[in-house]
Amino acid sequence: MIACTEFIPAYSELFKFLHATGGKEAVVRFWESLSDAFLGNLRDLAAQKGLAGCYEYWSHSLTEEAADFRMVLDEEQGVFTIEMRRCPSMGRLLEDADLEPYPDYCEHCDVLYRRVLEPLGFEYHIDLSEACQKARCSITIRKKVQ
Amino acid sequence: MDAAEQVPQGGGESLMTDPDSKLKILDCQASDHEYLHKDFHGALCYSIYYLDQKLGPQATRDYLVEVGRKNYKELVRRLRAEGLPALERHWQEVFTREGGKFRMEYEGQTLVLTVEECPAIAHLKKTGQLFTTRYCETTVVVNETICAEAGYSASCQYEPGEGRCVQKFWKETESK
């Protein structure tokens, strides 16, 4: 069994494997497929509860992943933000000298979540400018103005 | 933020709520929680399913060989240096952390790991996530690869989907 604590390096390796077989397009196609098949819980929560559903989803997953983060849900302003001070996934890949992360590893968080949230009427923005070097990023999700 | 109420959570995290503005803030440090996100088993299982469907079983095997070669270098080093007790410790830690039902024993020079309830498959079934009977090939191929890198051999007998298996590990010069 690959332990769930060993998944992230296997995930990164999968991106590298897919890239080697079909280029970046093959990696993005996988992310899209995974988003459709695997993120039903986020889709349901966001559809039923709006930004509060996003808060519920990420408060569960990020605590289980032992992330270092601050998330703010502002219902009045219609905005939910995550400031990821230390991403547990990229952090793990950077810490282990034996591992060589997939160069575009952090982009999966853009493709997977955007694909769920935009069709539900949210704006999704992720700042990955420091992601791959420092395991830091920020996410802002807003209700789209009609 | 003056009206915000700070509610201590488990560990050092804090949850702040402001009933007037409906502001909710959750602030956590890495040390506040144990790293154990079992839904990752679902993502891996889906990955196996996807590779099988898109590229075929040989590609899935090739991918898992890469995982075994590249992601377990420290375990391979320990296995080479210390022998089977290194693997024994590894499995003890993994299955204990994930709440698996298992036992380990030696049959001569062979380490036998009997998994009575695989925590990964138990989680997939409990949460209703996609399950492919090919999922256990992760164990078969990754174990074989780790052992081969260190001069050992491995076998894994399983009934697909049952969440039970018998894994054996031995030095290549010895018979199973």
Same domain, B96 and B29: no
Say yes or no for a CB contact (<8 Å) between B130 and A37. Answer: yes
Instruction: Give tens-digit pLDDT for A19-48.
Output: 999 999 999 999 999 999 999 999 999 999
What is the mean predicted confidence (pLDDT) over B108-132? 95
Query: Are B92 and B157 part of one and the same domain?
Result: yes
- pLDDT (0 to 100) of residue B17: 66
User: What residues pair up with A74 in beta bridges, in sequence order?
Assistant: A79, B23
Half-sphere exposure of A26 (CA within 13 A, CB side): 15
Q: Confirm if B130 and A37 have CB atoms less than 8 A apart.
A: yes
C-alpha triplet A141, A145, B2: angle, nearest 5°: 55
Are B97 and A59 in contact (CB < 8 Å)? no
A37 and B55: CB-CB below 8 Å?
no
Helix axes A7-38, B57-71, angle to 10 degrees: 140
Whether B10 and B63 map to the same domain: the answer is no
Percent of chain B with pLDDT over 90: 79
CB contact under 8 A, B50 and A59: no
Q: Which of A8, A16, A17, A38 is nearest to A111 (CA)?
A: A38
Residues of the domain holding B77: 39-171
pLDDT at B3: 39
- Where exactly are the structural domains of chain A? 4-143
Same domain, B29 and B44: no
The per-residue pLDDT for B175 is 53
Each residue of B78-96: pLDDT tens digit? 999 999 999 999 999 999 9
Pairs of CB atoms within 8 A across A/B:
141
Q: Is residue B127 part of a domain?
A: yes
- Is the Cβ–Cβ distance between B81 and A47 less than 8 Å? no
B43 shares a domain with B29: no
Q: Is B81 on the interface with A (CB under 8 A)?
A: no
Q: Mean pLDDT over residues B112-129, rounded?
A: 95
Q: Do A3 and B94 lie within an 8 Å CB cutoff? A: yes
Which residue on chain B is closest to A74 by alpha carbon?
A: B23
* Residue of chain B with shortest Cα separation from A30: B50
What is the residue whose two structure tokens read 């060993």?
A6
Q: Which residue has the higher pLDDT, B23 or B110?
A: B110
Confidence of residue B66 (pLDDT cuts 50, 70, 90): very high
Quickly tell me which residue has 């929560």 as its tokens.
A45
The pLDDT score that the predictor gives to residue B8 is 47
Q: Is residue B29 domain-shared with residue B47, that is, in the same domain?
A: no
B93, B35 in Cβ contact below 8 A? no
The predicted structure's pLDDT at residue B2: 36
The partner residue sitting opposite A76, judged by closest CB among B22, B33, B62, is B22
Residue B161 pLDDT greater than 90, yes or no: no
Calpha distance A32→A28 (Å, rounded): 6
Is B27 in Cβ contact with A70 (below 8 Å)? yes
Predicted pLDDT at B5 = 47
Say whether both B83 and B165 belong to one domain.
Answer: yes
Locate the chain A residue with the closest alpha carbon to B9: A63
Question: What per-residue confidence (pLDDT) applies to B1?
Answer: 33
Higher pLDDT, B123 or B16: B123
* B3: number of Cβ within 10 Å: 10
Residue B167 scores a pLDDT above 70? yes
Strand order in the sheet with B165-171: B101-107, B110-117, B165-171, B152-158
pLDDT tens, position by position, B145-154: 999 999 999 9
Residues B48 and B8 in one domain: no
Mean pLDDT of all residues in B34-40: 90
Query: Residues of A with CB below 8 A from B24's CB?
Result: 55, 72-73
Q: Which residues contact B134 (CB under 8 A, 6 or more apart)?
A: B48, B49, B52, B57, B60, B160
The per-residue DSSP string of B108-165 comes to TTEEEEEEEE-HHHHHHHHTT----GGGGHHHHHHHHHHHHHHTEEEEEEE-TTSS-E
At B174, the pLDDT band (50, 70, 90 cuts) reads low
Give the SS3 label for residue B17.
strand
Which residues fall within 8 angstroms of residue B129, CB to CB, at 6 or more apart? A38, B39, B41, B42, B45, B46, B123
Beta B5-8 vs B14-18: how paired, if at all? antiparallel
- Predicted TM-score (pTM) of the model is 0.92
- Could you count the other beta carbons within 10 Å of the beta carbon of residue B20? 9
Same domain, B49 and B72: yes
Looking at residue B161, which CATH number applies to its domain?
3.30.1380.20
- Residues 44-73 of chain A with CB under 8 A from chain B are 55, 59, 61-73
Q: Give the count of domains, chain B.
A: 2
Predicted pLDDT at B74: 97
* ipTM associated with this complex: 0.94
- Domain A4-143 maps to which CATH number in 3.30.1380, 1.20.120, 3.30.2310, 1.10.3470? 3.30.1380
Kindly report, residue by residue over A50-104, the tens digit of the pLDDT.
999 999 999 999 999 999 999 999 999 999 999 999 999 999 999 999 999 999 9
Mutate to test the interface with A, among B9, B53, B67 (most CBs of A within 10 A): B67
Query: Within its chain, how far is the Cα of A27 from the centroid?
Result: 15
The answer to whether residues B24 and B86 belong to one domain is no
Q: What is the pLDDT of residue B19?
A: 63
Judged by a CB distance cut-off of 8 A, whether residue B111 touches chain A is: no
How far is CA A11 from its chain centroid? 13
Residue B92 φ then ψ, to 5°: -60, -45
B176 lies in some domain: no
**How far, in whole angstroms, is CA B29 from its chain's centroid?**
24
* Residues B13, B34 contacting (CB under 8 angstroms): no
Q: Which of the 8 DSSP states describes residue A120? A: G
Q: Which residue has the higher pLDDT, B160 or A69?
A: A69
Q: How confident is the model at residue B133 (pLDDT cuts 50, 70, 90)?
A: very high
